Amino acid sequence: MDKIHIPVLLNESIDSLAIKEDGFYIDGTLGDGGHSFEILKRLSPQGFLISIDQDQHAIDFVKEYYKESIPENWIIVKSNFSKIDKVVKEFGKNRQPDGILLDIGLSSRQLEESHNRGFSYQEENEPLDMRMDKELGVTAKDLLSALSEKELARIFWTYGEERYSQRIAKEIKKDIFNINTVGDLTRLIYKAVPAADNSITKNPSRRVFQALRIVVNDELGSLEQVLDKSFEILNKNGRLSVITFHSLEDRIVKNFNLEKSRSGEGCLLFSKYIAPTDEEKISNPRSASAKLRTLIKN
């Protein structure tokens, strides 16, 4: 796979930033570089872009793919976006960002080229790792082994909204020594979820995998941190645009934006949110649940 995927809500998210050609912008989730490159195209040499990603594989891909078109005013930094304030302090040239974009969740490349990290429940032979950054200490297998049945059930329910969380957790703990790969876990989940439940139209593993990935990478905690820090470092009239893909993320962003708008510190660009068009959903089914929310700092 050597081509970039078109980012979700590309035009809508770029428009939401109201980019000034000499402004300073941050893409907190580099991914394949699609959003970053669109921002860069709208900047003059006096403009400035920092792109952040904790996945070294994503950074390596972008640097190779765009190697002929990476100008001096585009800096790519390996970090978790929860440390955005430290990144700006180190690389921001004493400027405050005019806009910050966050595209939360896995990229298509991370699912299709997971580099033996087990992000996708379709890659049966991969280990249960799920770390976005290999420097993190705890893997998904570590969680399955160390946590109790009750703790696992709580994780699957809280972070995956899995209705059969208790049954799945019980089966996992009964057979934990035989669970080492993605395939081992998915087969066990199929065994635990009632086949007669006609409401399950997608792979029953997806909610459990989502929950494990969220906990391993502390995704919701990092999101809460980056929202606070991003708003704090934004320039006056700066914009914070966030694309989410599931209800847990969106609820955090929605509540944060409402809190800032009610306090008078910010205002909402959209009364609700922006969703993909029907055309985008057809061309990219993974975009179906995406929501874009933008907050303007007063």
> Residue 1: its pLDDT value, please?
41
Do 101 and 162 belong together in one domain? Answer: no
We report the CATH number of the domain holding residue 233 as 3.40.50.150
Residue 123 inside a domain? The answer is no
Residues of the chain by 3-state class (helix, strand, coil), percent to 5: 45, 15, 40
Indicate whether 211 and 224 sit together in one domain: no
- Verify that 31 and 96 share a domain, yes or no: yes
Tokens of residue 141, six digits: 């297998």
* H/E stretch holding 34: helix 34-41
Q: Which amino acid is at 247?
A: S
Check whether residue 267 and residue 253 sit in a common domain.
yes
* Structural contact between residues 140 and 129, judged by C-beta atoms closer than 8 angstroms: yes
Residues 147 and 180 in one domain: yes
Give how many domains the chain has, as a whole number. 2
pLDDT at position 190: 87
Q: CA–CA separation, 87 vs 284, rounded Å?
A: 32
pLDDT by position in tens, the chain (length 298): 455 677 899 999 999 999 999 999 999 999 888 999 999 999 999 999 999 999 898 899 899 988 888 889 999 999 999 999 999 999 999 999 999 999 986 655 555 565 677 777 778 899 999 898 888 889 999 999 999 999 999 999 999 999 999 999 999 999 999 999 999 999 999 888 887 565 665 778 889 999 999 999 999 999 999 999 999 999 999 999 999 998 999 999 999 999 999 999 999 999 999 999 999 999 888 888 999 999 999 9
Tell me, yes or no, whether 66 and 88 share the same domain: yes
* In a domain? residue 209: yes
Task: Point out the domain boundary residue: 185, 216, 247.
Answer: 216
Number of residues that make up the chain = 298
Same domain for 228 and 105: yes
pLDDT tens digits, one per residue of 170-211: 999 999 999 999 999 999 998 888 875 656 657 788 899 999
pLDDT computed for residue 196 by the predictor: 53
Domain boundary among 183, 216, 249: 216
Q: What is the CATH number of the domain that holds 172?
A: 1.10.150.170
One-character DSSP codes across 139-203: -HHHHHHHS-HHHHHHHHHHHH--TTHHHHHHHHHHTGGG--BHHHHHHHHHHHS-TT-TT--S-
What's the domain range around 42? Answer: 10-110+218-297
Structure-block tokens of residue 269: 């660009």
In a domain, 128, yes or no: no
Judge whether 15 lies within some domain: yes
Residue 229, domain member (yes or no): yes
Percent of the chain with pLDDT over 90: 70
Q: 164 and 284 in one domain?
A: no
Q: Same structural domain for residues 178 and 269?
A: no
State the pLDDT at residue 78: 95
pLDDT of residue 103: 93
Instruction: Give me 119's structure tokens.
Output: 């992000």
Single residue among 146, 181, 216 that ends a domain in this structure: 216
Q: What is the pTM of this model?
A: 0.90
DSSP state of 296: E
Q: Write down the number of H helices and E strands in the chain.
A: 13, 7
